[in-house]
């Protein structure tokens, strides 16, 4: 049984010309962490609110643990859906202690035991009597998570949970929150516009654009095998070129030459496609066929991100490349590359 099933869900706000969520179908397995990833305004928060029952869809249905909670002629109110919510600003009550915040809404008989269990789960033992303002951002987030998990929800929804944390804490809390959710065995849907958040915490990532699902897959899948130009460029950097599938079916002819690719999805030779080449696929090679001049560089410590202006028979083409930081390069340096097939993806037109 699936923990969450969305079928053709549509939501249009009054006065908006385009739907916030447009014919979205998605399944989340029990115990899975799924992230909705997309730019600001693409409908992520609205999708969470539809699942929680804070909004009604105009069309489609939503089922939680096999029970339809919204659909034609059916409506289960939010408080009866067994959904836990962690808000971006945590929404802790400032005049209540950690223990009291976690205990909110719990039955008297189970309260003491549950608070103990939850503070242990989120590693906040001994801080039960502190007030939210006496906690760090990461600790406040654990309280919010403990409060959501205390009700044994079918699913916990987290809206941009890491956006208020600075970089160090953010890296740490990504691991912590994912670990806690896995330990609790709960299904979770995260929302983020941050690629690193999505790749780090998720079993699967659903990439959303303009309220529509672009692609859903494991982090490795969506990075290595983007199926649309949007996914290729939103989920990391990529060079997109026009191409034609080669006679062997395992290469693509482009302006910068014939590019090898591991997966062409059984495309027929001669078919017109686009090809996405991750910067990781360009390897420096003094004998490489691809040559040009470095146009821009960003030094990143463990790698140099650069734009190579490649010379081709059709004129210059800009390529996004990564270069090992020990190389001494600057704007104007002339370099040659070849392409490794691992991070090349064929995109249907
Ligand atoms: P995200 O969380 O991905 O940034 P939202 O779901 O918040 O996106 O918003 C999707 C679209 O719906 C946006 O264009 C936004 O302006 C619009 N929207 C969101 N909430 C409302 C609302 N309550 N009333 C009208 N329009 C809204
Ligand atoms: Mg949002």
Q: Which residue ranges have their beta carbon within 6 Å of ligand 1?
A: 13, 16, 20, 38, 40-46
Q: Is the pLDDT of residue 229 over 80?
A: yes
Kindly state the average pLDDT of the residues 175-202.
Answer: 94
CA distance 207 to 205: 6
First to last CA, the chain: 35
Q: What is the pLDDT of residue 263?
A: 67
The two most distant CA atoms of the chain are separated, in Å, by 77
Atom index in ligand 1 nearest the CA of residue 43 equals: 6
Q: Whose CA is nearest to atom 26 of ligand 1?
A: 13
Side-chain-side CA neighbours of residue 330 (13 Å): 0
Domain annotation for the chain: domains and CATH numbers: 2-224 (3.40.50.300), 237-347 (2.40.50.140)
Residue 309 pairs in a beta bridge with 293, 318
CA distance 217 to 215: 7
Kindly state the average pLDDT of the residues 58-81.
Answer: 96
DSSP string, 114-127: HHHHHHHHTT-TT-
CA distance 287 to 14: 60
Name the 3-class secondary structure at 216: strand
CA distance 319 to 239: 6
Ligand whose nearest atom lies closest to the CA of 161: 2
Q: How far is the CA of 8 from the centre of ligand 1 (A)?
A: 18
Q: What is the pLDDT of residue 126?
A: 93
Mean pLDDT score of the chain: 94
Ligand whose nearest atom lies closest to the CA of 208: 1
Q: Is the pLDDT of residue 133 over 90?
A: yes
Side-chain-side CA neighbours of residue 223 (13 Å): 16
326, 332, 337, 339: CA torsion to nearest 10? 100
Rg (CA), the chain: 24
Query: What are the tens digits of pLDDT across the range 297-341?
Result: 998 888 899 999 999 988 999 999 999 988 888 999 999 999 999
Atom index in ligand 1 nearest the CA of residue 21 equals: 10
Confidence label for 165 from pLDDT (cuts 50, 70 and 90)? confident
Q: How far is the CA of 16 from the centre of ligand 1 (A)?
A: 9
Closest CA to 273 of 285, 261, 290: 261
Q: How far is the CA of 24 from the centre of ligand 2 (A)?
A: 16
Q: Is the pLDDT of residue 213 over 70?
A: yes
Q: What is the pLDDT of residue 265?
A: 65
Model confidence, pTM: 0.92
Contact status, residue 281 vs residue 344, Cβ threshold 8 Å: yes
Q: Is the pLDDT of residue 9 over 80?
A: yes
Confidence label for 194 from pLDDT (cuts 50, 70 and 90)? very high
Kindly state the average pLDDT of the residues 125-147.
Answer: 94
Percent of residues, the chain, with pLDDT higher than 70 = 99
The alpha carbon dihedral of 261, 266, 268, 272 has a sign of: negative
CA distance 74 to 299: 55
Q: How many CB atoms lie within 10 A of CB 333?
A: 16
Percent of residues, the chain, with pLDDT higher than 90 = 84
Ligand 1, residues 9, 13, 40: which to mutate, most atoms within 8 A of Cβ?
13
Kindly state the average pLDDT of the residues 135-143.
Answer: 92
Q: Whose CA is nearest to atom 13 of ligand 1?
A: 41
Kindly state the average pLDDT of the residues 140-160.
Answer: 94
Ligand whose nearest atom lies closest to the CA of 39: 1
Confidence label for 264 from pLDDT (cuts 50, 70 and 90)? low
Query: What are the tens digits of pLDDT across the range 97-110?
Result: 999 999 998 999 99
Lowest mean pLDDT among 72-81, 225-234, 295-304: 295-304
Q: What is the pLDDT of residue 312?
A: 92
Q: How far is the CA of 18 from the centre of ligand 1 (A)?
A: 10
DSSP state of 15: T
Q: What is the pLDDT of residue 300?
A: 87
Atom index in ligand 1 nearest the CA of residue 160 equals: 2
Kindly state the average pLDDT of the residues 125-130.
Answer: 94
Contact status, residue 254 vs residue 242, Cβ threshold 8 Å: yes
CA distance 6 to 8: 7
């Amino acid at each position: 049984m699936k923990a969450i099933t969305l079928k053709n869900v549509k939501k249009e706000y009054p006065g908006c010309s385009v739907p916030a969520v447009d014919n979205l179908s998605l399944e989340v397995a029990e115990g899975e962490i799924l992230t909705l990833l997309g730019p600001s305004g693409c409908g992520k928060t609205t999708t969470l609110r539809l699942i929680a029952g804070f909004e009604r869809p105009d069309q489609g249905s939503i089922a939680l643990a096999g029970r339809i909670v919204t659909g034609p002629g059916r409506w289960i109110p939010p408080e009866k859906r067994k959904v836990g919510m962690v808000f971006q600003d945590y929404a802790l009550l400032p005049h209540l202690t950690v223990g009291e915040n976690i205990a909110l809404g719990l039955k008297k008989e189970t309260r003491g035991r549950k608070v103990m269990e939850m503070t242990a789960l989120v590693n906040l033992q001994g801080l039960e009597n502190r007030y939210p303002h006496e906690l760090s951002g990461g600790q406040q987030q654990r309280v919010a998570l403990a409060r959501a998990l205390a009700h044994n929800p079918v699913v916990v929804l987290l809206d941009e949970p890491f956006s208020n944390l600075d970089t160090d804490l953010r890296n740490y809390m990504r691991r912590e929150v994912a670990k806690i959710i896995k330990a609790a065995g709960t299904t979770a849907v995260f929302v983020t516009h941050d690629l690193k958040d999505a790749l780090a915490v998720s079993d699967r990532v659903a990439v959303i654009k303009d309220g529509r699902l672009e692609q859903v897959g494991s982090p490795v899948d969506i990075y290595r095998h983007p199926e649309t130009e949007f996914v290729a460029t939103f989920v990391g950097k990529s060079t997109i070129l026009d191409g034609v599938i080669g006679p062997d079916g395992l290469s693509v002819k482009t302006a910068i030459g014939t590019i090898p690719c591991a997966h062409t999805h059984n495309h027929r030779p001669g078919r017109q496609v686009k090809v996405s080449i991750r910067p990781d696929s360009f390897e420096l090679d003094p004998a490489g066929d691809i040559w040009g001049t470095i146009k821009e560089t960003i030094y990143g410590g463990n790698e140099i991100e650069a734009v190579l202006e490649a010379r081709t028979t059709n004129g210059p083409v800009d390529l996004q490349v990564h270069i090992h930081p020990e190389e001494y390069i600057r704007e104007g340096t002339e370099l040659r590359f070849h392409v490794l097939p691992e991070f090349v993806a064929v995109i249907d037109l």
